[in-house]
Amino acid sequence: MTSMAMKASQEDFEKAKGQVKLLKEDPGNEVKLKLYALFKQATEGPCTSAKPGMFDFVNKAKWEAWNALGSLPKDTARQNYVDIVSSLVSSQSSSQEKTSSNDRKLEYETLVVTREDNITKIMLNRPSKKNAINMKMYNEIILALEAAEKDDSTLTVITGSGDYYSSGNDLSDSANMESGEIEKKIKDGAMLLRLFVDHFIDFPKPLVAVVNGPAVGISVTLLALFDIVYATDRATFHTPFIQLGQSPEACSSYTFPKIMGPVKASEILIFGKKLTAQEAYARGLITEVFPDSSFQKEVWTRLKAYSQLPPKAMSSSKQLIRSFEKETLHRINFEECTLLCERWRSDEFINAIVNFINRKSKL
């Protein structure tokens, strides 16, 4: 069934809103006006505001586009909005794929994405910042997952470059905010985080984490949404959310208690206990631990063998396994992002960021 035949839910609409911000190419003024008008119609109904003055060109054009929709029902406007965004996303990603199909290396600023031996490898590539995930990287991982979903590889792997897997959310992003834009940044940040995690919940092919070194924050919590997690014995797993005035994300408030039991999960998520690779293995968070000296060789040999398995059988089995909880995970993701918005407004969080920036607290 195509999206045209389905009725767009509020969730589809929210997702489309986030996707508009991620478009790589400007869709042009005409399309932007159409999207603006449909958005207003979907959220506020027919235009009732006064027409802007004739020299207020931009607002006049927006008003005219909205007013032209007359009494179009909110549901229909929402559906049209979702359809336009989905066609923009697919046309941009297919043109992106075409330009890169002869190239094994796709162009990203914060990632190195390669496709070889039926495996798409997404490597986080900010080694000097321990692969901290900034806004650009969140957006690029979303795009890389969307491309991997459509390419002909059978496995998708996420790993890190340098000595860390990832140091989690880039804390300096939160420090670089003008006071007037804080509320908008909080809302945009929560929307991006939700979209990011949604992509992991919905990813249709087997997803593998090759944890090449220490992992912090969201790079740990996300692991429960992977299908296989291999780690070097040098890796550690640390979620210092509370120390940073924050709360768990990436559905870990649900997946961690389920995987390891509530008291073990709380020790990590509430009290920030840092786990060794062996401890994380014992708690069921990772599939297998390898000696660091042979980690890359052993893991990639294993993955190359798995990548030869029948792809459709693998992806449909993965989808079946995940299907029973998808709705729940989307709901948890929404609730976690809502709580995080509150946390990001708190003094506890702001103080923690100031401390990080001043290097008073290295965790």
Q: Tokens 């909205």 — which residue?
A: 66
Q: Please identify, among the stretches 56-64, 164-172, 193-201, 279-287, the one whose residues bind ligand COA according to the rule CB under 6 A.
A: 164-172
Q: Tokens 């693998």 — which residue?
A: 314
Region for residue 205 given its phi and psi (left: phi exceeds 0; alpha: psi -120 to 50; beta: otherwise): beta
Q: Work out how close the CB of 37 gets to ligand COA at its nearest, in angstroms, rounded to a whole number.
A: 39
Decide: is 318 part of the binding site for ligand COA (CB under 6 A).
no
Site string for ligand COA, 106-135 (x = CB under 6 A): -----------------------xx-x---
Neighbours of 306 (CB within 10 A): 15
Q: How far apart are CA 233 and CA 277, in angstroms?
A: 5
Q: How far apart are CA 41 and CA 76, in angstroms?
A: 9
Q: Tokens 């006064």 — which residue?
A: 50
- Binds ligand COA by CB under 6 A, chosen from 168, 189, 206, 213: 168
What does the block give as tokens for 126? 């900010």
Q: How far apart are CA 101 and CA 79, in angstroms?
A: 32
- Given a contact cutoff of 8 angstroms between Cβ atoms, the answer to whether 65 and 39 are in contact is no
3-state SS class at 139: helix
Q: Work out how close the CB of 196 gets to ligand COA at its nearest, in angstroms, rounded to a whole number.
A: 14
What does the block give as tokens for 237? 């797993």
Q: Please identify, among the stretches 72-80, 170-178, 275-283, 301-309, the one whose residues bind ligand COA according to the rule CB under 6 A.
A: 170-178
Q: Which is nearer to ligand COA, 79 or 236 (CB)?
A: 236
Q: Which is nearer to ligand COA, 160 or 217 (CB)?
A: 217
Q: Work out how close the CB of 358 gets to ligand COA at its nearest, in angstroms, rounded to a whole number.
A: 11
What sign does the dihedral 267-268-273-279 (CA atoms) show?
positive
Q: Which is nearer to ligand COA, 18 or 217 (CB)?
A: 217
- CA within 13 Å, CB half, 20: 19
Q: Which is nearer to ligand COA, 66 or 164 (CB)?
A: 164
321 Cβ partners below 8 Å, 6+ apart? none
- Given a contact cutoff of 8 angstroms between Cβ atoms, the answer to whether 285 and 229 are in contact is yes
Q: Work out how close the CB of 175 gets to ligand COA at its nearest, in angstroms, rounded to a whole number.
A: 9
Residue whose beta carbon is closest to ligand COA: 217
Q: Which is nearer to ligand COA, 98 or 359 (CB)?
A: 359
Q: Which is nearer to ligand COA, 115 or 130 (CB)?
A: 130
DSSP letter for 127, please.
Answer: G
- Binds ligand COA by CB under 6 A, chosen from 169, 232, 255, 333: 169
In the region spanning residues 231 to 250, those forming contacts with ligand COA, defined by CB under 6 A, are 240-241, 244, 246
- Binds ligand COA by CB under 6 A, chosen from 20, 23, 171, 282: 171
Residues that bind ligand COA (CB under 6 A): 129-130, 132, 167-172, 216-217, 240-241, 244, 246, 362-363
